[in-house]
Structure 1
Amino acid sequence: MSKVSIVGAYNTQFGSFVKKNKETGEVTDLKSIYDLMLEAGRGAIADAAIEAKDIDGVWVGSFAPGLFANQEHLAAFATEIAPDALRFKPMYRCEDACASGSAAIYNALYALEAGRANIALVLGVEKMSLLDTKGTTKALAAASYWAEEGAKGYTFPGLFAEYAKGYAAHYSLDPATFSKMLATVAALCYKNGIDNPLAHFGKGGPADRLGLTTAQAILDLPPEKNPMIAEPLRLHDCSLITDGAAAIVLVRDDTSLAKSDRAVKLAGFGHVNERIPISVRPNLYQLMAGKEAVRQAFAEAGITARDVDLAEVHDCFTITQLLITEALGLSKDGQAGYDYMAGRFTRDDDQCAVNLSGGLKAKGHPVGATGVSMHALVYKQLIGEPIGAILTKKRPTVGVTFNVGGSGVTNSVSVLSR
């Protein structure tokens, strides 16, 4: 079991914080990557009730700030959160595609457990909306195996569509049933997102206005409102292009802060890599490395799937949520879609709720921020200060995050417990 706890967290509003002139193409940045970092960092420090001067180091998760926002050397800007206090402190940027935020958390944990730090600030941030859709797609494709995938025109919807096709074929799912499974996942996340005041697609947003809180409502959309992106994945199977940041404060368990009633233990984690070329993987119907990450995390924390009260999982695409639900052991292999259609994993589930935040599908997916955001929101649920939808049948004591980088390549699983 790790020797580290979370004692404070903050999540900014997620959204598209730009103004684009369709006639001139001019883009005005309404909330910069710097604004997002400052808000999240200062918010987490305040939530932890600590002084910035007590922080021993800052770890920043960000996938591609140079491509998205023309800013490399990003971690150094964290000094501006509290210049007098953080000047001369070590700062590190961690990159692991869409799992960059979790990588930052784990690297901070290593420093804490090694005794090099007692208190760490971890930030995750991405500013994605300055680019057009084509530019964003190309930037994200840099997280694929470029030589065989990105350079040949593969996009991430295309890569995960391979998993969708592999899953449907392996479990002999007819197209109508499979489409309903995927739509059920999307509808659940949209419904939860409406209750999350920080969500990109929150109350009053497109999913709310269109009433997309049931699978049938999504399936009934005309093709022009739900076009095919990469067969069998349609628009509403895909997560959002989002700006946002999140931050947490980590402390060693032998500090007084770890004894407070707002401390949540990072009880175990698994950080496992798959081979990056999709062409060399043994199968495309399960996250094999993800299952190993779960095994490691659960073993370190001393839990089983039955102990998990809530999970924030990486639904970059609806198929990914099915794969992760099975990797976590919440459903048997090949059964997750049926379980979702049967009404499992909602806020009313008496066993485990999935993506109470709305997930990447509705909360949004600022890629470098996602892993930190998952930890921040599970932390808030566990200390009784939930942001958004809440469990109706129990007070949660164990939460799990499952953050993915690339096409199922980096698999990061954390167990948080009261």
Structure 2
Amino acid sequence: MEYADVVVIGAGTIGSMTLWQLSQQSDLKVVGIDAHAQVNLRSSYAGESRLFRTAVKEGPVFNDHADASIDLWRELEAASNRPILDQCGALSIGPPDFEAMRTTREVVERYDLPHEILTAEELHARYPQFSPDPDDIGILDTRGGALRPEVAVTAAHTAAEDQGAPLYFNTRVTELTPTAEGIEVVTDAGTFAARQVIVTIGSWTGQLLPQLSEYVEVRPIGLTWAMPRNIDQFQPEVFPVFMRDRVAADGTVTHWFGAPTLDGYSIKIGTYPEPWISPMSPDDRPADYTPEQLAWVGEIVAECVPDLIASPVRHSVHHDSYASNKIPIFDRLPADDRILYATGMHGNAFKFAPSYGKMLAEMAVDGTSPLWREEFSLNAHQKLAR
């Protein structure tokens, strides 16, 4: 049996960053365990890029995490000597009275976050790649940008291993057994004994911690890439990451998001048909886009960015855990406070992953963290209606 001060179960988005933060404390024995390969291509973080935003439409509870994450991303870049965050800006586009746009504007103005407000005319002049509606506005988060998630996760793994933290991949945890001394972590490759456990397994949380299954569910997330006719207009130097909400005359809302080219020939456009919000099992492979759905995506993205060829060049489907109020859950199990967990990330975790990892590390070592908010508690969440 291997002994550790802290065992982190799950080494993806949040777990990798938690391991990195914990490993920097030389007096701790830290172990990481993950059921999948080091780079899990079906994970919540996979897919080449993620949006980084500091003008967070989900509300001010995330402001501290936005500020902390910028510095932490730069620290990880320095530790790995790899580019991870390109601060090309993050642009929100939509009608000024649309809820997400109102909230974003309220947050940037109330907290004096670096930003620009653009009219539809100014938006088109600055970014002629877009085709805004006449009443649209743009809110440019000048500190936002694009993240490279696979690079970031593996960089955090390497940083943790360099500090002496062993990581066990392709190792599935089957049981957590409380003892007087701590928690026994039973895996298909042996048993570990830990004083504390941090569970960061995303979509699989309800399987290992069934007491949380009424609070989170798994939903698919689709990603597509489209090819511009002029790729030079979609380089990070001239094209930001973006989110757009469009309201049709009949009231139908279309939401999509995107990132500049990182592969040199295409840009990411994330949008997917409504039926895909249906819950699923994390062990099931999400269904791929059908030809009809890809045709629908092509029509939508061409409306958003006219220079795009209206036929996606590639696509992938992932999944994540969703809670009741779009706020993630970071808490301890009521039955045993030696078990911390993170879940309910809503496909929005990656931008703040290093800050979330720092928060969990502080909670494990110090018992609390200045980054934690009551909104993250399980008590602040309702059970999901099924």
TM-score normalised to structure 1 length? 0.25
Structure with the bigger percentage of strand? 2
